[in-house]
Each structure stands twice: as structure tokens, then as C-alpha cells.
Chains A and B, each alone.
Chain A
Amino acid sequence: MGKRTHDIRPAGRPSGNAADHSTHSTRSTSHSASRPDSAHSTGVGSEGRWSTKRIAMYALFVALAMATSFIEFPIFPAAPWLKYDPSGIVCLVAGFAFGPSAAAIVSVLGFLPHLFIDPWGTLMAVVVALGLSVPAAAVYRRHRSRAGAVAALAVGTVVALVAAIVCNLFVTPVYAHMTVAQVAAMIVPVLLPFNLLKFAIHDIVTFVIYKPISNLVGD
């Protein structure tokens, strides 16, 4: 992300000479094409896909997803056990800002603290978050515009809706003595409206906040 180009350096210096100095064979050489000293880089730690900057960004986004995943509140009176938590917004924003792999990392790691509290619920939350944020990030990566964002959110919502309903079919019987058919009977009156409402909030908030945030990210 945001590698600034720097062309005020004294001319005539051969580009790519950093590779000659780098004796570390463990480091990726795919960056030797771009000078390691661009944008004030020292060529240490700030290069590659997992620069320290990127690790720090991912970490804080994961922490944010964790923090928000604990803020749960019911939004659908018909099903008080289905609760809304805003962590999906963090997954979506991470995907928009840094791409599908970031969305995947935030979706998976963000729910890990719940694994030892509610194991099945956590698995379900991870699958749904992945379904929402990874396709959306993939679409948005290709179409970086307002229309692209709308399309991305729509695709993500559809995938996540399917994922949420399929997961519920299998996970609800673990918590309540119900057959898959009984759960299926709840799809139209309960599961579909709840999840639609939930993703609608996710989508609207993401759409509204993404621009101010992308200004901050400098993307």
C-alpha cells in the first residue's frame, strides 16, 4: 500500500542497486526492481507483502474486530437470541482498504477470542464474515468507485446471506433439539429478515464511513 514515489534524488544513480548490497538471501528479491530507499525506506522491515506497517495495520484491525464483536445487541424482536454485532463492518473496511487476504485474516482472527466461549457460534460467525468480506473485497479491488463499492457490498451480502442460512440449518440443532426441517421453517419468518437487517446495517455504515477512513489510510 501507499508506496510513494520519490524522484527528487540526485539523477544518475542506477536503480535497483540495493539488490547488490542486500546479502540476505531470505529476503524476497522481487522488490529489487523498485529501489528499497524509495519513500525514505531503509530497505529493512518496510519491504515485502508483510511490512511492519502492514502487520501493525492488520493487528489493529483485528483488535478492532475483536472489540466490536463483543458489542452485541438484539435488533430483531422476533429472535432475541440472534444478536447484531458491528464487527462485520471492520472486516468489510479491512477488505476494501487492503484486499481480500486482509479481509480473511480479520474475519478469522477477529473471532478467535470467542472460540473458547462459544465454539460453534464462533465457527459460524467466521464463515459468515468470510462470506461477506472476502467477495466484497475481491469485487471492490477491481472496481474502485462508488458504483463498485455498491456492487461489492451487494455481492458480499448475497454470499453472506446464503452462508448464514446454511450455517444456521446445521448449527441451530446443536443448541436446540430441532431437526433441519424445523430450522428451515424459520428461514423466511426469522433468519432471512434478521440477516438482511444485519447486513443492511453493515453495508450502509461501511458505505458511509469508508470514504473518510480511506482518507486516513491514505489509500
Chain B
Amino acid sequence: MKAVNDPSPTTDGPAGDDVIALDDVRFSYDGGATWALDGITLRVRRGERCCLVGANGSGKSTLSRLMAALAAPDGGTVRLAGRTVFSDADGARPDAYRQARRLIGAVFQNPADQIVTTTVEDDVAFGPENLAVPAGEIGERIRRSLADVSMGDARRADPTNLSGGQQQRVAIAGQLAMDSRTLVLDEPTAMLDPDARLEVLATLDRLQEHGVTIVLVTHHDDEIRPTDHVVRLDHGHVVFDGTGADPCPVAGAGDPAVRAPEDTGAPVTTPLDEGSPFDDAPAPAVRFRHVTFGYPDAEIPAIDDVSVTIRRGETVALIGHNGSGKTTFARLLAGLETPQHGEIAVDGLVVAAPRRSPLAALRRTASAGLAADNDEPYGNDWPKGTAAMSPRDSEVADAADREWLRRAPSRRAGRRERRELHRRVGYVMQHPERQLFADTVADDVAFGPKSWGLSGDDVHARVVEALELAGILDLADRRPGELSGGQRRLAAIAGVLACRPSVLVMDEPTAGLDAAARRRIHDVIRQLKLQGVTVLLVTHAMDEVSELADRIVLFGAPPRSFAVTPDKPARKTRLRGRLQQVNRRHLEGANSQRHWQERRARAAALANGQPDPAPAAVRQAAPSFDRVAAASSQESSTNERFSWVSSLDPRVKALGFLVLMFSAFAMSSWWAVLVGAVVAVGLVAASRIRPSRLLRQVHAFLALFLVMGLLNVFVVRSGTPLWTIGRFAITDDGVDTALLYMARFSIVIVLGAVMLETTTPTALTDAFGSLLSPLRALHVHAQEIALVLSLALRFLPTLGAEAKAIVEAQGCRGGSVDSGSPCRRMRAMCAVVVPMFAAALRHADNLSLALDARCYEEGLDRTHWRRYHVGPRDVAFAGIVAAQIVAIVLLQL
């Protein structure tokens, strides 16, 4: 089968100039029992864009790995970048593969897992370093490739702080820096929100204008342009190979997010009927009153003065763009965050509230005809007090009360109330299948009921009930690991349902699932509604909203930070207008190809920092791909935190600080402590760190200080007794020793803090690798060990965030390590630890591919972009270290 059309008539290469040529390629994961790819013949021409499409499991990803020189097939012939890398006669040719891999770049689905260091520029440098590009040239390559993806301003940023779209652009830059003129991208936008998707696509469009060949695996039909070369796969076979619009789209495979709600014909919202049976419920399912919440370090609050009431039995969709506060709302509701202001009540249980307004308290107690007892601490009647108020009361509540709620700091409920809250609220987080831990689905589902202390028979009944509700009773005894993605998601949801929540929050429960799995989850939500469960559904998919939701809570709607749709039919039209506005912004018009192209071009211009983006400006704005040698942009001392200490060679600095810290423990007199204090204060001054930062570091050790101090006070028996407590006498020597030990330990902590504050993780691992390198003579894999350390530091925050999510999710199901019987604690611990290992292994799989794409190999002769030299400052620093040691030794004598 040959390419039916020539999709890129403007290609400058001669005819037959194929970058990638596959002939009769076969690939099997199970030793030939089934074929993931069977008889694939395919050509990708220089400069064209080849889109690989097809349903999940059709072989797109496998094929993209073969095309990116990351895996070899079982049979056939593969020619990459002009080299035959695999043929039936010769098998895989490592050398040809090695060269091909350098010319063909690969970008994967998960943006964060492709980034290997903690600074953007070092990450981009990693590939060229592996190719042994001279250090002087790497700086220019970094500048050029970051400019190509419009990320020049983020050179020194920490990639973990970037958005998914930005991370994906950095990953692309990492490939461009290796001079890859062909990029194979495996669903690069699958994990991105609509805005970030646009960013990445605009970047690809621009790269292609400059002659880069692009192979794009995608399941978004709107990412395919009319001129693109499209290859559709089905069960490992090519079923279409041609240009532009695909004549045989697979039914149901399209992304529902691109379907406008108008297409469904259903009304956008189904307002509650006047005589809704749920109206009589005693307390609303959820009530937020003037709730404000901001994350620490965030400038603007994630949720600003939000008031919303959700009635029992309603299914409410929470929609809005990324970062508009949907997930924060859900977390507040589940008691995982405490608002700064306002009151949250769930199912009659007050989750967070300020101390009661004196005025409101007076009014309530007066109306109840009870003796006023305003001094009563709020906590005493915490669960009932304010929850007894009906929504109507809250409307009547006077302005002073509202103002009080807005301003007064909120406190969160006590431990018992929070546990009760977890009983009533089920929280299905994003990707809940990542929290599966048990050997069988049934065991996993049983975790919640068991944690709540139910007996064996009750647990079994709950498990069966939840699995039936989720429609996966037949999977009860299967291992979660062998299920499909959709089945795993349903199993995880069943695990939450088994706790029988009266309010269920689901955060994007259908994200990343195929049409069949989505339908099953929709059925579950409908079932829950019939059972009277209140469901809050965070989603980006508008078909889900129109199909399932009674009402919508729209986040991020101007001018206020959020809006609740009114549920009176008369205001329905206005509501629709609003929704469609959301639509236009989020669900990029699949029906308007031209509109989409314009948006892409604009995004490209915007990314270039154009104030007034217009398609015409794109060409000028696009940074030059010409290999014009610009002045090398090697680093100068523009680092904002530059100081005498930060400019030290990290090797000298690390060793010197360690010597200083260890020697501090040898200080046994106040004179020695004085010497140490002078050196430490001098280094703090020379590092230009704000003392408040250091104080915060020391603060964390206060508890340890106290214990150490007490130990010293009680251990030392010499000297004059000051106080006598029972058998123990506290002596002046004891107090003196305690203070001395505290003083020298403070010096150690301050020195450590200065070291860590002035040294980037990259510099630290570089120093570590460099200090380890002499061990290479002893056949120690020094380079690899240093890389392991560097990668570990890079993934530390990623795993930390994941650990937090797992602990919270299991906590919401009643799993708690710090309460209950030892057996229950142990089970709670396993429920956290097993998913953590699963997360580590998942990241490792992705990361190893990313390392391959960057051409890393064992024992490679790499260059180092950052070079360190021991200079006069380092010598001076070493002198200071030596002086302290001499002084301590002399004072000991």
C-alpha cells in the first residue's frame, strides 16, 4: 500500500525522499499469538505531517515507537532517516538505530514524565550532552530550540511549575536541540486542557513551516488539517492512507468534547420542576456561604466569596476552564481544604465555619426563645448549630451576618466531624484507578466498608451492591492490573460507592475513556440519581452536562469568579447564552475548521509575545530556524540570587559545608561555638539570604531542640542544683550544656540551610557526579548513579503530589494510618504504599522511553554544558573552612 496522494506538493526533497519507510511490518506483544501491527506499509515524506489515527488499541502508539526508532518490530523492513534499521535478513541494526534515533525526535503523552532535570535549560541541554556536542555550542542550541517553541523566557524555570502545555513545548525543545528534523509525537495533547492543546498545536504548525517533518498520533479529529497525510489504523492494519478528511471515521471514537451541545438537540439544562420531591429535604446537600479560599503562595484566591446551595438528589455539573476553582470547590466540600472565610455545610454537617456572628447568634437564640448564651464556645454545638438554618433563613439573614461570614476567619471542623463528613461524602478524584491497591477488585472495593468498621457480612453486601451499581459484578475476583482502563475506573468508583455516600463528588470521571466506558459511567450516575444521591460532576465534556446535569455551576464566568445557573425556566435563555460562550472558549469548534486554524495561528503569535495577535504577524514573529550563528549565550551572572556563596564551585561548596557542619558537632566550649557562629553568620551575609527564610528553617527543628535540651538537662548531674523535680536535679551545668548543644546544632542547621538555599539541585547533582567520577576507575557506574540522583530529585515533587492524592483518596474512604486497630492501620498503610509503588513504576516506564528519545546510553561519553572551575573564591572558602577546624582543634587543647 502506498501513499495515495502526495500531501505536501511543496516538499523540497526529491521524489522518494522518505523520512520513514515501513514495509510489511509486524509487531506482537505476546510472542505472535496476536498482532498489534500486521503488515504495515507506510511512507512519511520529508516536510509533511502524517497523522496516525484510530481507536484505542488499534496500534497507533506501537507504530509511533517503531517510527521513532525506539523499538524494533518482529518482521518487515524499516527504513528511518535514510538508513535501513531493521530487515528480516539482518534483524535490528544497533548502529543504524542509534543514528536514526539522533535524527528523529520523540514526544510522548505525559508531559511531566519526559522532563529529566529541575531547570528548563538543563533539561534541553541533556540531549545535546548525550550526543557529546561541545559545551560551547550547547548554549546556542538551548537558546535556539527554546525560541522555536516560544519558551525562551522560561529558561531558568522549574519545569514542575510549568503548565502541561508549556512542559510539552519544553519536551519538544529538548528534541529540537538534538537537531531532530523529524518529530514523532504520541498523543502529545491527550493530557492537556483545550488552551494548552492549542499552544502545542500552534507550535507544531510553526515548526512545520520551517521544514520539520511531523508524525502526530491523535484521537482528536480537529487536530487534522485538510492537507495532512492521514493514516488510520484498525486492529493493527492500515485501513486508510490518504490526504485530509477521513472517509471512514470510526463510530463513537471521536472526542465528545468537540461536539457542541446544540448537536444533541437536548436542552442545555434541565431545571428542576417546581414541585420537586427533593425540595422538602430538611437541609440542603451542600451549602457554601461566602466561602473564600486561596492556596498558600497564590496571589488571587482560587475561590472568592462563593455562595451556592445544592439540594438533595440533584445532579449538578461543575464546569469552567482549568484553574477556575472547580477542583478546589470539590476539595473544600470533601473537607480536604479549609476555607479562609465563609461557611460550608454538607448534608447538615458543618465542615467549616467562622465563630458564630454575635449578632446572628443573638437573633437565633432570641427567636428560639432560649436563654441567650453568647459566650458558649462555638465547638459545643458545632454539628447542629448553623446547619439547622434553611436556605430561606440565610436569605433573611441580615447584612451584618453576611459581612461577618465574609470577613471572619473560618475554622475547620474537629476530627470526629471530619470523619463523619468522609462517611457522607464520596470523592472520586481524577484518575481514581491510580488508587487501586488490592489483589482483587472485590478486596479493593471492600476497603471503605471495612475501614468504617462494618462486619464481614455487611462488607460483603456492600461490595456486591457497589459492584452491581457499577455494572462490574463479573469482575469481582479479577486482578485490577489485568483490567482495561475503563474497567479499572469503574472498579475505583465502586470502591467509593461502597461507602454509600449521600453526596458524591466526581472529578472528570470520564476523562481519557473511550465511548463505551463513558456510557457505563453515565449509567452509574443516572442510577445514583434514582437512588437519591446528590452528585457533583466536574467535567469538560458538554454532552455529559446536557445528558446528566439538573443544574450547572459555572466557574470563572465574568464578571464574578463564578455563577450559579438560575433554575427558573424564565431565565433559561440567558443561561444558554452563557453556556455557549463557555462552549466557544473551550470546545474548539470542530464545525469551523477555519476558525480553528485562526485560533492556532493566533496562539502561535501570542506565544511569541505579540501584543495584538493577527495571523499575518505569525511569519514575522516566528523565530528563525536558519542556522545563523548568533553570539553564544553562555550564562553570565544575571541570576537574581547571585551571591558570593552561590558563585562557589558546587563541589568545593558541598564538601566545605559538610566539613563545617560535621566539625560543628566537635565544638565543646562557648569559644568554639563563637568561632562557628562567626563563620556561619559571615556565610549567611555572603549568601544574601533573607534571615527570615533561615529562621523558618530553624523553626522546624524547635521540637527536636526541646527534646535534646531536656535530655541534656536531665543527663548532666554535675554542677550546682538549680531545681529539684522528684529524683532529678537540674543543675547549672546541665542548663549550660543544653544551651551549648542547642547553639552548635543551630549552627549546623543554618549552614545546611545556606547550602541548600544557594545551590540548585542541578549543581548539587553535577557536583555529586563529579566527586564520584574517580570511582569510574573502580568500575563504579558513577555517571549513571549521578543521573539516577538527578532524576530522583526531579521526580520527588511529582511523587509527593501523587502520595498526597492517594492518602487523601484513601482517607475519604475511611482509611487512616493514625487511628484504629493495628490491623486496620496496616491495611490503610498498604492501601497507600501499593499505589505509590505503582505510580513509581508507571513514571519509570515513561521516563525510560524519554531517556531513549534523548539518546542516553550506558557508559556514554557525554559532554557537560555547565562547567565548573575552581577559582580564587573557592580557595578563599576552603581557607575559611580550614581556619574553623584549626580554631576548634586549638580550643580543644
Contact = CB atoms under 8 A, between A and B. Distances in A.
A3 interface: no
Contacts of A117: 749, 752, 756
Interface stretch (A143-151, A161-169, A204-212): A204-212
A42 to B, nearest CB: 4
A56 B791 contact: yes
Nearest to B113: A56
B686 interface: no
A93 B745 CA distance: 34
A89 B840 CA distance: 14
Contact of B792 (A9, A53, A66, A213): A66
A78 interface: no
Nearest to A204: B826
Contacts of B101: 42, 44
A67 B833 CA distance: 12
Contacts of B86: 37
Contacts of A176: 708, 711-712, 715, 741
A208 B830 contact: yes
Given A9-B74, A109-B792, A36 B92 contact: yes
B650 interface: no
B596 interface: no
B708 A17 contact: no
Which interface residue of A13, A50, A56 has the most chain B CB atoms within 10 A?
A56
Interface stretch (B195-203, B313-321, B336-344, B847-855): B847-855
B715 A50 contact: no
A117 B757 CA distance: 12
Given A64-B837, A64-B840, A41 B741 contact: no
Contacts of B662: 119-120
A83 to B, nearest CB: 10
Contacts of B751: 116
Interface stretch (A18-26, A126-134, A152-160): A18-26
A187 interface: no
B95 A21 contact: yes
B817 to A, nearest CB: 9
A207 B543 CA distance: 47
Contact of B439 (A4, A50, A177, A212): A212
A112 interface: yes
Interface stretch (B49-57, B379-387, B669-677, B782-790): B782-790
Contact of B75 (A9, A21, A64): A9
A96 to B, nearest CB: 11
A21 B91 CA distance: 11
A100 interface: no
A142 interface: no
A5 to B, nearest CB: 8
B837 A59 contact: no
B792 A59 contact: yes
B795 to A, nearest CB: 4
Which interface residue of B94, B101, B755 has the most chain A CB atoms within 10 A?
B94
B230 interface: no
Contact of B71 (A40, A86, A205, A212): A40
B657 interface: yes
B716 interface: yes
B92 A37 contact: yes
A61 interface: yes
B15 interface: no
A102 B727 CA distance: 50
A49 B859 CA distance: 10
A122 to B, nearest CB: 10
A57 B843 CA distance: 9
Interface string B715-741: 110000000000000000000010001
A6 B31 contact: yes
A30 interface: no
A7 B788 contact: no
A64 B799 contact: yes
A206 B716 CA distance: 41
B576 interface: no
A64 B788 CA distance: 12
B834 A42 contact: no
B887 interface: no
A45 interface: yes
B92 A59 contact: no
Given A60-B792, A62-B788, A53 B848 contact: yes
A7 B31 CA distance: 7
B85 interface: yes
A177 B27 CA distance: 68
A42 B840 contact: no
B789 A40 contact: no
Contacts of A33: none
B829 interface: yes
A40 B851 contact: no
Contacts of B818: 73
A28 B860 CA distance: 11
A178 interface: yes
Chain B interface size range: 35 or more
Contact of A209 (B741, B749, B830): B830
A216 B825 CA distance: 24
Nearest to B654: A116
B95 A42 contact: no
B848 A63 contact: no
Given A81-B704, A213-B837, A177 B741 contact: yes
Contacts of A41: 71-72, 92
A26 to B, nearest CB: 6
A216 B436 CA distance: 12
Given A73-B818, A175-B745, A55 B657 contact: no
Contacts of B851: 45, 52, 55-56
Contact of B789 (A53, A112, A116): A112
A177 B712 contact: yes
B226 interface: no
Interface string B816-838: 00100000001001100110111
A177 B792 contact: no
A119 B788 contact: no
Contact of B708 (A13, A119, A175): A175
Given A9-B75, A26-B861, A216 B741 contact: no
B876 interface: no
Given A9-B74, A37-B72, A60 B657 contact: no
A167 to B, nearest CB: 14
Given A21-B93, A41-B92, A217-B841, A27 B796 contact: no
A105 B751 CA distance: 26
Nearest to A80: B707
Contacts of B85: 42
Contacts of A205: 826, 829-830, 833
Which interface residue of B72, B849, B858 has the most chain A CB atoms within 10 A?
B858
A48 to B, nearest CB: 5
A199 interface: no
A120 B843 CA distance: 32
A215 B481 contact: yes
B844 to A, nearest CB: 4
Contacts of B789: 59, 62, 109, 112
B72 A66 contact: no
B437 A35 contact: no
B799 A59 contact: no
B877 interface: no
Given A45-B852, A60-B792, A216-B838, 14 more contacts: A8-B31, A10-B88, A42-B72, A42-B101, A44-B94, A44-B855, A50-B784, A53-B845, A56-B844, A62-B788, A117-B756, A119-B658, A205-B833, A216-B841
26 contacts: A8-B32, A9-B74, A18-B94, A26-B859, A35-B91, A36-B94, A42-B92, A44-B97, A44-B101, A49-B781, A52-B857, A59-B788, A60-B847, A110-B792, A112-B789, A116-B751, A119-B658, A119-B662, A119-B748, A175-B741, A176-B711, A177-B712, A177-B737, A178-B715, A204-B826, A217-B841
The 6 closest A-B pairs by CB, nearest first: A43-B94, A37-B92, A59-B791, A62-B792, A8-B32, A56-B848
